[in-house]
Structure 1
Amino acid sequence: MTDFRIGIIYPGDGALDREFWSFAPENVSLHFTRQPQAEGPVGLAGMKALVDDGSLEVCATSFKLIAPSVVAFACTSASFIRGLNGEADLRKRIELMCGSVATTTSGAILAACRAMGINKAAVLAPYVEEVSIKLGEFLEEGGIAVSRVCPMGLIDGIADVSVDEVVRLGLAADTPDSKGLVISCTNLVTVDAIDILEKALGKPVVTANQATVWHACLLARVEWPRDFGVGGIWRKAVISSK
């Protein structure tokens, strides 16, 4: 079985490395680099600084020596705040510096929605309203209608939100006319919430860390068994090893 390396550029406050590993097939190794991040509340200014201060290029360059198949920029908000063109620009900048194919969490969420046939999504986001609205705009620009955006209003402590709370808020965020639920932020724990929500809602659930690892594996042409993975996305778009 071929082993694949996937690089993850993770913001400095990211605390869920283990969750990324929970989504990865056994023949995939994840290699994290932390992106320096100024202390302060999660907001538009901080997210713009994250992609404008030159640290993205430094992090991308650090992967050149191990030549991963794919490098993922694992910050949802910083990759959607400037729309589709901004997301595409981030990928180009990463690819230029490391020579690997790149994806971003926002781009991965969009790809997952398309793969699952989610043409209208309800959205749960942990951010304040001004940031959460930008995610809805990004999805709509990408052809995914948005039935509702539910901001949690957090400026810090996102990694401390419990799975039970994510499930409760996810159920409340959904709308009858949505074709799926999107849960944003790579610092919000979701791995133990996805199956619960999909069963309760009867529709697919796409989350930030899940989509990031799935899309990176898809781009790298990783093989995984048809019964692998958390959430329907792994069984909908699969390169089967059996």
Structure 2
Amino acid sequence: MGSTMGRGDIPTGPPRRVPIGVVAPHDMALDAELWRWVPDEAALFFARTSYLPLAVSLEMVELLGDITGIRSATEQLKAIEPVAYAFACTSGSFVHGRAGERAAAAALSEAGGAPGITASGAILAALGHLRIRRVAVATPYDATITARLESFLVEAGVAVTGIRQLDLDSRMWTVPYARTADLIREANSDAAEAIVVSCTNLPTYDLITPLEHELGKPIISANQATMWAVLTQCGLAAVGPGQHLINPGGT
């Protein structure tokens, strides 16, 4: 049976979406979570840093922050001409302090030919956007890596009022929401204006809104901040119903 579609019914082409390059660590398992913040007008394109046969440790995250590796992964995406790039690795971008974070962002920009944003830089941008200067910190890392995050925040002028960590060295993406929610509650204090949840491999999307309502303050997660920042760079709004960073005072 022949088709009844006429020549005028054929679409002129697929919808044009703003390309965004994402450089992820080799063990990133939450690509799908990042997509949840993305509006229909944008598309994510991923490249990964080289595989490291190591547990999540200070040694590993220092290697993840290696500028040569970040540049190499960024160059894998250059042909599709992203409008902006994100380095979706929190620990790899804070482990060498503010200078290391700036160097990682510069590597993205120089290798990719478009603005670059890091996960830890995005957290600082989110805190600045909300005018927050005192935070509690929740991480899945060990104490040594978590201490590097505290130093990074303090160096940027953000006071840390309390810290809790899970002391994990692998498979952060398998942590149940209930365990992460308890971690955030334990990190919280009356002095904290917001709670920073580190690690782009720790699922947070569905926790943010209910915990913000419960605790009465913003929850800034690494993936949320990263996607908010890179989409803002592209002139687009992130999708996060009820999340304070994305919809201050609204739903």
Match of 2:243 in 1: 231
Match of 2:4 in 1: none
- Check the 8 A contact 2:231/2:238 in 1, yes or no: no
1:60-102 per-position Cα deviation (integer Å, ceiling 9, x unaligned): 1112111111100010001001111110011111111110100
Offset of residue 221 of structure 1: 1.2
| Matched AA of 2:104 | L
- Check the 8 A contact 1:80/1:87 in 2, yes or no: yes
**Residue 50 of structure 2 is aligned to residue 36 of structure 1:** yes
- Aligned-residue RMSD, C-alpha: 1.8
Q: Distance in 1 between matches of 2:238 and 2:194?
A: 24
Indicate the structure (1 or 2) with the bigger Cα radius of gyration. 2
1:157-213 per-position Cα deviation (integer Å, ceiling 9, x unaligned): 211101111111111110111000000000000001101110110000000110000
Find the partner of 1:6 among 14, 17, 20: 20
Structure 1's 158 and 223: CA in aligned 2 closer, same or farther, altered over 3 A? closer
Q: Distance in 2 between matches of 1:167 and 1:41?
A: 24
Offset of residue 52 of structure 1: 2.5
Match of 1:154 in 2: 168
Q: Distance in 2 between matches of 1:223 and 1:15?
A: 24
Find the partner of 2:122 among 85, 108, 119: 108
Structure 1's 151 and 223: CA in aligned 2 closer, same or farther, altered over 3 A? closer
Match of 1:49 in 2: 63
- Check the 8 A contact 1:23/1:229 in 2, yes or no: no
Structure 1 gap ranges (5+):
238-242
1:1-31 per-position Cα deviation (integer Å, ceiling 9, x unaligned): 9732111111111111110011112211111
Match of 2:147 in 1: 133
**Residue 189 of structure 2 is aligned to residue 171 of structure 1:** no
TM-score under structure 2 normalisation? 0.89
The number of aligned residues is 235
Runs of 4+ in structure 1 off by over 6 angstroms are none
Offset of residue 224 of structure 1: 6.2
Q: Partner of 2:122: helix, strand, or coil?
A: helix
Alignment identity in percent? Answer: 33
1:30-74 per-position Cα deviation (integer Å, ceiling 9, x unaligned): 111121231221111111112337321111111211111110001
Structure 2 gap ranges (5+):
1-14
**Residue 72 of structure 2 is aligned to residue 58 of structure 1:** yes
Q: Distance in 1 between matches of 2:153 and 2:71?
A: 26
| Matched AA of 2:110 | L
Find the partner of 1:76 among 65, 84, 90: 90
Q: Which stretch of structure 1 is more off in the superposition, 45-54 or 209-218?
A: 45-54
Q: Partner of 2:85: helix, strand, or coil?
A: strand
Q: Partner of 1:235: helix, strand, or coil?
A: coil
Match of 1:120 in 2: 134
Q: Partner of 1:214: helix, strand, or coil?
A: helix
Structure 1's 168 and 219: CA in aligned 2 closer, same or farther, altered over 3 A? same
| Matched AA of 1:122 | A
Q: Partner of 1:165: helix, strand, or coil?
A: helix
